[in-house]
Amino acid sequence: MEKSKYIRESLLESSKLKKEIIENCELEIIRAIDLIVSAYKNGKKLLLVGNGGSAADCQHIATELMIRLNHQIKRPALPAIALTTDSSNLTAGGNDIGYENVFARNVEGLGNEGDVLWAISTSGNSPNIIRAIEVARSKKMHVLGLTGLTGGKMFNMCDVLIRVPSENTQRIQEGHLVVEHIICELVELELYCN
């Protein structure tokens, strides 16, 4: 395939998806913002789980909330923990209790009633994400899901589920990043500019 044609088609596909996110996801994005804002107003925290690129997104989101996204807003840190960043914890858990249980174990140890688990999976079917959601539900935590088109097994497991309308993993991940930034910035604005 000619490189310039591939580049053009990729960018056009990505921009088309952003328009579809507006049409298909706006109400769920608002619900996600409201869920997180409510948790923070009630002294709760956010835990984040995901694999691969989604694990990197978890770290990114936690940083935006702990540090800040909008540099015009002076605010305190918002409690957000990416459960994807502790290599000793992840490797010991994978070795000792199985990789499908590593996030669930951390949700068990760190999650409390009323906290929010933000679970990110392009397919919605990752076994370790599903287990983490199950533990979060048993602890009466709220669950925010971010997936691709179908939602996979996560479809009926989340209080709020944002399904980016694509089946192309890289486009889903691009859509996730835009949604994540919107949520983080609007959480800041809701909490500190109203």
pLDDT tens digit string along 107-163? 999 999 999 999 999 999 999 999 999 999 999 999 999 999 999 999 999 999 999
Q: Which residue segments constitute the domains of the chain, with CATH numbers given?
A: 27-192 (3.40.50.10490)
Structure-block tokens of residue 131: 């287990």
- pTM score > 0.85 for this model? yes
Q: Cα 181 to the chain's mean position, in Å?
A: 11
Closest among 63, 48, 154, 188 to 164, alpha carbons compared: 154
Q: Is the separation of the CB atoms in 146 and 155 below 8 Å?
A: no
Q: Residue 67: count other Cβ atoms within 10 Å of its Cβ.
A: 11
pLDDT band at residue 70 using 50, 70 and 90 as cut-offs:
confident
Closest among 151, 142, 153 to 33, alpha carbons compared: 142
Q: How far is CA 184 from CA 48, 81, 91, 166, in A?
A: 13, 14, 29, 22
Could you read off the pLDDT of 27-42 as tens digits, one per residue?
A: 999 999 999 999 999 9
Closest among 155, 108, 148, 100 to 126, alpha carbons compared: 100
